[in-house]
Amino acid sequence: MEANAQELPATMLPRPFRITRVRRELSDVFTWELEPADGGAPLTYAPGQFNMLYLDGIGEVPISISGDPTGEWLVHTIRAVGAVTDLLQKLRKGDEIGLRGPFGVGWPVVEAEGSDVLIVAGGLGLAPLRPAIYHVLANRARYGSVGIYYGARTPADLLFRKELERWRGRFDLYVEATVDAADTTWAGRVGVVPKLIDRQVHRFDPESSVALICGPEVMMRFTVAKLRECGVPDAQQYVSMERNMHCAVGLCGHCQLGPEFICKDGPVFPFDRIAPVFHAREL
Amino acid sequence: METLKPIDELLDEHPFFAGMEDGPRKFIAGCGRNEVFHAGDYLFREGDPADRFFLIRHGSVALELHVPGREPLVVDTLQSGEIAGWSWLLPPHKWANDARATTLVRAISLDGTCLRGKCEEDHSVGYEVFKRFIPVIAGRLSAVRMQLMDVYGTPQKKR
């Protein structure tokens, strides 16, 4: 058994990580801060990458990294939506999990330097985009206009609300949020994300803009269509895809989407590359 | 001091009338008037006669649905540059929801009876008006479909 474990490539062997902080974000969403429990070096990663979180004897789930790439802690924001994540939700500060990663291709934050940047998120899709936001804000002078456009189900479902409000207070950033429905106490916008873009696109030069998009696929579909209508080329629109990822290294084929393995070739793709299979109902 | 602009000039500044030639726009301007609503005022309420529509010049308007025994539900918000109301186009010309100003709102209202009359009188004007309304209606329909999908809700497994 020991010999077999030593033969496994590092990417297949979970490292122990300890939960140093748990923060409740929404009724079914929580954020962990993690540190290595093996005394090894902290994980370095690029915005948009993900880790496989492993619960001994239960299973493993792919979860995007949602923290600051230059920060002290490794941060994951997780929705309790299945057997593994339901149990992850019950873990507390000091508990340990297994972690493999980081995996995948992230957001093109370096390639986007010099461009206007539209960051478009829906629901929990703000979590994988947050590292990119931190990076862009930490290197603000390298980018043109920057806007964050976020949609959620209701005002109570707005993720990272305090942070959104703080970002909104900056003079070098446009931040707009909208919800699908609200009661009359909500003073913000109601409507869908593409409508936000419609209202804000005049702040950007579409031809030289880069859009980073993450959310439910339906939301991304409508967003891509709106950005295309506004003149942002498909090659400059990046979407983060989600499929049933198991091995995370492109071996098992569970997350294969046409010619692409979401875990290895993605999860972030320029839309022109993924477009041929994006609308395929069979995949 | 702000100079009061003629309605035709205000129409010309509003995105809804972008690209419309002077002739039809001036013809339509006779149906318009300036309106101001304070936060909390209703531009219209469900069931009332839909005798006009609004070009929002400034401010924000919430479209609300009322369900007995429940809090009103805001289903859309409209901003400057958008229009509020198309029930004036279709019989029985009754508003299908409420529209409430959430901030100070400055708008131009166009009288529905007057505008329908002008559209009948000159069908090319009617075409210009309908050509502008259809994308607005299609956009709202598309948005409502997205909202109905509840895309941000907890994902359900495919059966």
For A242-276, the pLDDT digits (tens) are 877 777 777 777 878 888 888 888 899 999 988 88
What's phi and psi for A185, nearest 5 deg? -80, -15
Instruction: Check residue A259 and give its pLDDT.
Output: 83
Per CATH, which fold does B7-146 belong to?
A: Jelly Rolls (2.60.120)
**Nearest residue in A to B81, CA atom:** A199
Q: Note the pLDDT tens digit of each residue in A78-88.
A: 999 888 999 99
**Inter-chain residue contact B152 with A123, CB threshold 8 Å:** yes
Residue A187 has pLDDT above 80, yes or no: yes
What residues in chain A have their Cβ under 8 A from chain B's Cβ atoms?
28, 79, 81, 122-124, 151-153, 157, 178, 180-184, 186-192, 194-195, 199, 215-216, 218-219, 222
Contacts of A187 in chain B (CB under 8 A): 102
Instruction: Check residue A254 and give its pLDDT.
Output: 80
Size of interface A-B (CB pairs under 8 A): 72
**Closest to B62 (Cβ–Cβ): which among A178, A190, A218?**
A190
Contacts of A79 in chain B (CB under 8 A): 154
Q: Do A254 and A244 contact (CB within 8 A), yes or no?
A: yes
Q: Note the pLDDT tens digit of each residue in A201-242.
A: 788 999 999 999 999 988 999 999 999 999 999 999 999 988
**DSSP characters over B80-136:** TT-EE--GGGSTT-B-SSEEEESS-EEEEEEEHHHHHHHHHH-HHHHHHHHHHHHHH
Contacts of A188 in chain B (CB under 8 A): 77
DSSP state of B139: H
Which pTM was predicted? 0.88
Beta-bridge partner residues of A24? A30
Q: What mean pLDDT do residues B129-135 have?
A: 93
List the 15-74 stretch of B: residues with Cβ below 8 A of A: 62-64, 71-74
**Whole-number percent of chain A with pLDDT over 90:** 71
Contacts of B73 in chain A (CB under 8 A): 181-183
Q: Which domains does chain A have, with CATH numbers?
A: 2-103 (2.40.30.10), 116-278 (3.40.50.80)
**Closest to A192 (Cβ–Cβ): which among B74, B79, B143?**
B143
Please tell me the distance from the alpha carbon of residue A33 to that of residue A17, in angstroms, as a whole number. Answer: 10
For B39: left if phi > 0, alpha if psi spans -120 to 50, otherwise beta; the answer is: beta
| A1 pLDDT tier (thresholds 50, 70, 90) | very low
Q: What mean pLDDT do residues A68-80 have?
A: 93
Pairing of strands A268-270, A237-240: antiparallel
Q: Do B11 and B83 contact (CB within 8 A), yes or no?
A: no
Domain boundaries, chain B: 7-146
Residues contacting A158, CB < 8 A, separation 6+: A150, A152, A164, A177, A179
Contacts of B137 in chain A (CB under 8 A): none
Q: What is the ipTM of this complex?
A: 0.83
Q: Note the pLDDT tens digit of each residue in A90-120.
A: 999 999 999 998 999 999 999 999 999 999 9
Beta-bridge partner residues of B76? B63
Residues contacting A159, CB < 8 A, separation 6+: A25, A26, A29, A77, A123, A124, A126, A127, A152
What one-letter code names the amino acid at B158?
A: K
For A116: left if phi > 0, alpha if psi spans -120 to 50, otherwise beta; the answer is: beta
Instruction: Check residue A154 and give its pLDDT.
Output: 94
- Mean pLDDT, all residues of chain A: 90
Please tell me the distance from the alpha carbon of residue B29 to that of residue B110, in angstroms, as a whole number. Answer: 8
Instruction: Check residue A3 and give its pLDDT.
Output: 47
Residue A9 has pLDDT above 80, yes or no: no
Please tell me the distance from the alpha carbon of residue B44 to that of residue A113, in angstroms, as a whole number. Answer: 47
